[in-house]
Structure 1
Amino acid sequence: MRVLVTRPEPEASRTAESLAALGHAALLAPLFEAEPVAADLGGAYDAIAVTSARTPAMLPPGALAALAPLPAFAVGDRTAEALAAAGFRDIRSAAGDVAALAVLIAAAGLPAGARILHPGGEERAGDLAAALAPAGLSVVPATVYRMRAKATLPPAVGDALRSGSLAAALHYSPRAAGLFTTLCTAAGLAPEAGVLRHLCLSAAVAAALEPLRPSCVITAQRPREADLLAAL
């Protein structure tokens, strides 16, 4: 089965590897691209918290020397690996979500009133600051990148839809599914996109596809990629 993957890199390539292991072929056509945002990361911090594996590579080079010695808390193991690659040494992984990360940080023994730098993208899942407020910890957010949307449907996707060579599409977020819908409609390919099997991470993601009038929409039992791929 040939499956469309529109998520950005490096996630797209990891998904392609997972699809290949299941015997499927991937058409990679990221609809978003990360671009750095100028950010002032100066100041005194007691730790850094990171909730995206993309963030470490987006940190300004000049800030890394000051930040790398700090305790670094990662939401998951991939994020921890990205922090290590960027030069951080004291790395602790929550191996979960933002709630798990908050629990990890709260139990780390940081002093009351500690300031935790939380760099990331413009859009983030969860509210780390609210989760750590009861522990008396101060989270300082900083936007270091944004995901720039493509203005037109990638040519490879248009060609695949016209030829009927695609069987399914994976959708991970309402924003991405909405952009896919908008770009397909603008290209006059809504009917071709509607006949695909659309696999969605959540009901909110599926709702963003409604203008395509899709004939087959499957929502993962749990919001995890493993469950999404299992639905294939």
Structure 2
Amino acid sequence: MRVLVTRPLPDAWATAERLRGAGHEAMVDSLLAVEALAGAELPPGRFDAVALTSVNGARALGARPELQALAGLPLYAVGRRTAAAAPDAFADVRIAGGDGAALATLLRAELPRGARLLYVAGADRAVDLGAELVADGISTELFVIYRTVPATRLSMETMVAVQEGRIDTAFHFSPRTAATLAARAQEAGVSALFRHVEHLCFSANVAAPLAAAGWPTRIAAAPTEDGLFALLVR
């Protein structure tokens, strides 16, 4: 199978290497670049826990000067990959089922009413933890420490490959990456060609901008890389 991987680096390289190890061909065209926000300021006051919903947030937190002050708190990670990328300074890491809804459920179960949660995130977020938890009496403070910047065009390699019919499928990990691919393909005049590519998606939210473009999508049973690989063998 010839697979297009569009997630940010360095994760795209790791996914491509795994694909090649499984006997597939992989092409990387990262459509989002991650930028740390050095000027971000930690909200004042004490917190009862820290939440992370992305690998990028976990990595960015590891480079922050506030890390040592937060490391004694329990860390709630959205899934296994985010937990694995979290700074080693956190001794108490609790892992949810892989998406925002599962993380909110775990936080409701473990944090008492009146708790104050620090949500470490990017400028664009797939889940609003504050809105999810307010009815449970859990207050959420947002600490935005990175942003993702969309690519302005598809790579020449991707353009040539889709024009020559050399992309069988594409992996989609986030709504923003999927929407960026759809937009750049439309601008380049190759959107119709991506209708011949099977688009494998983490979730219905990820699939939405692709389906709106008329592209065929399939959704993983679980919002994980393993879930996407499982779709490859069906």
TM-score grouping bracket, smaller chain normalisation: 0.7 to 0.9
1:100–1:24 Cα change, 3 Å: same
How many Å apart are 1:121 and its aligned residue? 1.1
5+ unaligned residues in a row in structure 1: which ranges? none
Per the alignment, residue 118 of structure 1 pairs with 119
Per the alignment, residue 66 of structure 2 pairs with 63
1:123-145 CA distance string (max 9 Å, x none):
22333223333442211112111
More displaced 10-residue stretch of structure 1: 89-98 or 31-40: 89-98
Per the alignment, residue 89 of structure 1 pairs with 91
CA contact (8 A) 1:118 1:141 kept: yes
The question of 1:187 aligning with 2:162 is answered no
Per the alignment, residue 156 of structure 1 pairs with 157
1:94-141 CA distance string (max 9 Å, x none):
34433333343344465x423211110122233322333344221111
5+ unaligned residues in a row in structure 2: which ranges? none
Query: What TM-score results when the alignment is normalised by the length of structure 2?
Result: 0.81
Per the alignment, residue 53 of structure 1 pairs with 55
Write the distance in 2 (CA, Å) between the matches of 1:100 and 1:182: 30
SS of 1:143's partner is strand
Per the alignment, residue 220 of structure 1 pairs with 219
- What RMSD over aligned residues (CA atoms) do the two structures have, in Å? 2.8
CA contact (8 A) 2:111 2:138 kept: no
Query: What TM-score results when the alignment is normalised by the length of structure 1?
Result: 0.81
Per the alignment, residue 33 of structure 1 pairs with 33
- Count residues with an aligned counterpart: 228
1:21–1:194 Cα change, 3 Å: same
1:1-44 CA distance string (max 9 Å, x none):
21111112343234324423442111011100111223210422
Write the distance in 2 (CA, Å) between the matches of 1:213 and 1:16: 26
CA contact (8 A) 1:219 1:228 kept: no
How many Å apart are 1:180 and its aligned residue? 1.4
For 1:96-175, list aligned pairs within 5 A: 96-108=98-110, 112-175=113-176
1:127–1:109 Cα change, 3 Å: closer
1:69–1:19 Cα change, 3 Å: same
CA contact (8 A) 1:218 1:231 kept: no
1:80–1:155 Cα change, 3 Å: same
Write the distance in 2 (CA, Å) between the matches of 1:99 and 1:196: 29
CA contact (8 A) 2:43 2:141 kept: no
1:220–1:66 Cα change, 3 Å: same
Percent identical among aligned pairs is 40
Pick from 75, 79, 83 the counterpart of residue 78 of structure 2: 75
CA contact (8 A) 2:170 2:200 kept: yes
CA contact (8 A) 2:60 2:146 kept: yes
SS of 1:133's partner is helix
Write the distance in 2 (CA, Å) between the matches of 1:12 and 1:222: 21
Per the alignment, residue 24 of structure 1 pairs with 24
Write the distance in 2 (CA, Å) between the matches of 1:203 and 1:98: 13
Structure whose alpha-carbon radius of gyration is higher: 1
Write the distance in 1 (CA, Å) between the matches of 2:84 and 2:14: 14
